[in-house]
Amino acid sequence: MLQRLTPSQTLVIGFALIILVGTCLLMLPFASTSGESLRFVDALFTATSATCVTGLVVVDTGSSFTMFGQIVIICLIQIGGLGFMSFATLFALALRKKISLRERLLLKESLNAGSMEGIVRLFRKLALYAFTIEGVAAVILSIRWSFDLGVSKGIYFGIFHAISMFNNAGFDLFGSISGEFSSLTSYANDIVVNVVVMALIILGGIGFIVMADVMEKKSFKKFSLHTKVVLTTTGFLIVFGALIIFIFEYLNASTMGPLDVGGKILASFFQSVTTRTAGANTVDLSSLRQATQFFMIILMFIGASPGSTGGGIKTTTFTVLMGALISMIRGKEDIVLFHNRLAKDRILKAVTLTLFALGLVIIVSMVLSTTEDRSFLAILFEVTSAFGTVGLTMGITASLTTVGKILILLTMFIGRLGPLTLAIAIGPKNDKELFRYPEGKITIG
């Protein structure tokens, strides 16, 4: 029966099984600091958020879970970030087993690679890059936090947060230090923590294929079109996002007002970077101006890049849509990026994905606005954060109703796998059409 499943169906079922196992482990009494079993819906929510590398939490990770529970969470993050097929391949390579054609297809789907050619060789590089980046960041953060927390706790915090931030998960342990759901607010002015965390988020968000391309070619002119689009779009969104947040929050006494100019710039960049689906924050998001909150919703909806640990409609989709808009305004028939014309199917896929995502966010937000006693902007922020697997919140996650938690965890699941992957997995098989209908014309606009 497993052989009949398509790669998309296998990914959906695989992620669901990992979440189920994680839920069972987090419900064990010794996973909770209270010594009592966590409610099923709360354990399921936490396991989904960790596996889908989101970061939304209904109970504080640092104060509510024992070391065992925290290790379960970080393992789910690592598996969810790199993809369960990546870990299956890693074990197979370690045991010197041959990777079958079906496993290569699954790995291609999991990594969102363009072709199956050299997929195992690509995976070896990606695994090396991922663990090296996490290792280096863990060492730096461990040294920094050892001054504040002691050597043993500093090392533990360094490893946990390096894995969490590189996989764009946003889970943190500072609830046991600075108060529940405090995230990294106590380090808003810390240049080391901010720079390292931002670097982890960006590297995890640009995608493994881009990382491999950059490491191999080392010249922007030699990069593939995909890499050029990802790097330029990511850079633009980060800088533009930081500028807008800096302007809107400069005089806000509840957020960036008390910081000096350097602190304001640092906080602006951090909040802009973290909308790349990371989930950490250094200022109180519920105190941001509504204009800033809505702008962050837009950034979260765009999300990270294909083949990365992040969610959203992806930077490439956003660029294709902007390219279509500019081409239409200029009266051009083709979308041209870096002297390359895009195929029509890329444009249709970008439009389809965006409409799927927009429809999902709108429907879930409308339903939650009837089940939750919160402002619509806070609900829209929460839903977009869940879809983009961001993990940022205006403080409503812990108080969600059971219906609200289920809707949000389903949104996280869809956001991690991608709306199109899920639609293909549950939809009917595509049969090739044997004929085409005559072309018709309708008036647009």
- The overall longest dimension of the chain from CA atoms, in Å, is 73
* C-alpha to C-alpha distance for 313 and 306, rounded to whole angstroms: 9
**How far apart, in Å, are the Cα atoms of 216 and each of 125, 223, 307?**
10, 9, 17
Give the pLDDT confidence score for residue 14 in this predicted structure.
Answer: 80
Three-state SS for the chain is CHHHCCHHHHHHHHHHHHHHHHHHHHCCHHHECCCCCCCHHHHHHHHHHHHCCCCCCCCCHHHHECHHHHHHHHHHHHHHHHCHHHHHHHHHHHCCCCCCHHHHHHHHHHHCCCCCCCHHHHHHHHHHHHHHHHHHHHHHHHHHHHHHHCHHHHHHHHHHHHHHHHCCCCCCCCHHHHCCCCCCHHHCCCHHHHHHHHHHHHHHHCCHHHHHHHHHHCCHHHCCHHHHHHHHHHHHHHHHHHHHHHHHHCCCCCCCCCCCHHHHHHHHHHHHHHCCCCCCCCCCHHHCCHHHHHHHHHHHHHCCCCCCCCCCCCHHHHHHHHHHHHHHHCCCCCCEECCEECCHHHHHHHHHHHHHHHHHHHHHHHHHHHHCCCCHHHHHHHHHHHHCCCCCCCCCHHHCCHHHHHHHHHHHHHHHHCHHHHHHHHCCCCCCCCCCCCCCCCCCC
pLDDT at 215: 84
Q: Is residue 137 part of a domain?
A: yes
Task: Kindly list the distances between the CA atom of residue 424 and the CA atoms of 9, 305, 355, in Å, as whole numbers in the listed order.
Answer: 8, 20, 15
Q: Is 443 exposed, middle or buried (0-12, 13-18, 19+ CB in 10 A)?
A: exposed
Closest-CA residue to 406 (of 12, 19, 14): 19
Tokens 């990511």 sit on residue: 234
Torsion angle of C-alpha atoms 230, 231, 232, 237, degrees rounded to 10: 80
What is the rounded CA–CA span in Å between residue 112 and residue 229? 16
Residue 443 domain-assigned? no
Write the pLDDT tens digit of every residue in 314-341.
999 999 999 999 988 888 888 888 888 9
Please report the pLDDT score of residue 443 as a whole number.
Answer: 65
User: Is 433 domain-assigned?
Assistant: no
Domain with 11, as residue range(s), is 2-423
Mean pLDDT over the full length of the chain: 86
For residue 206 the two structure tokens come to 């640009």
Partnered with residue 337 across adjacent β-strands are: 340
Express each pLDDT in 36-95 by its tens digit: 999 999 999 999 999 988 889 999 999 999 999 999 999 999 888 876 556 556 555 555
Number of alpha carbons in the 13 Å side-chain half-sphere of residue 377: 14
Q: What is the pLDDT of residue 359?
A: 93
DSSP bridge pairs for 336: 341
User: Which residue, chain included where needed, has tokens 């105190």?
Assistant: 287
Nearest CA-CA partner of 287 in 258, 310, 307: 258
Single-letter code of the amino acid located at 256: M
Q: Return the pLDDT at 99.
A: 61
Residue 235 near residue 334, CB atoms below 8 Å: no
In the prediction, which pLDDT does 380 show?
96
Please provide residue 53's backbone torsions phi and psi, each rounded to the nearest 5 degrees: 45, 55
pLDDT in tens, the chain (445 residues): 545 666 667 777 888 899 999 999 999 999 999 899 999 999 999 999 999 888 899 999 999 999 999 999 999 998 888 765 565 565 555 556 666 666 666 666 555 555 556 666 767 777 788 889 999 999 999 999 999 999 999 999 999 999 999 988 889 999 888 888 888 888 988 999 999 999 999 998 888 788 888 888 888 888 989 899 999 999 999 999 999 999 999 999 999 988 899 999 999 999 999 998 888 899 999 999 999 999 999 999 999 888 777 788 999 999 999 999 998 888 888 888 888 898 888 888 899 889 999 999 999 999 999 999 999 999 999 999 999 999 899 989 989 999 999 999 999 998 887 766 665 555 555 556 666 778 777 766 6
Burial 64-95, CB ≥16 within 10 A → b, else e: bbbeebbebbbbbbbbbbbbbbbbbbeeeeee
**Distant-in-sequence, close-in-space partners of 115: CB < 8 Å, separation ≥ 6:** 108
Is residue 179 included in any domain, yes or no?
yes
List C-alpha distances in Å: 188 to 172, 194, 253: 15, 7, 15
Locus of tokens 């663990």: 131
Residue 431 lies in a domain: no
* Cα(339)–Cα(346) distance, integer angstroms: 16
pLDDT given for residue 318 in this prediction: 93
Let me know if residue 83 belongs to a domain: yes
Distance of CA 441 to the CA centre of its chain: 40
**How confident is the model at residue 334, as a pLDDT?**
85
At 48, which amino acid appears? T
How many domains does the chain contain in total?
1
Any domain includes 48: yes
Please report whether residue 432 resides in a domain: no
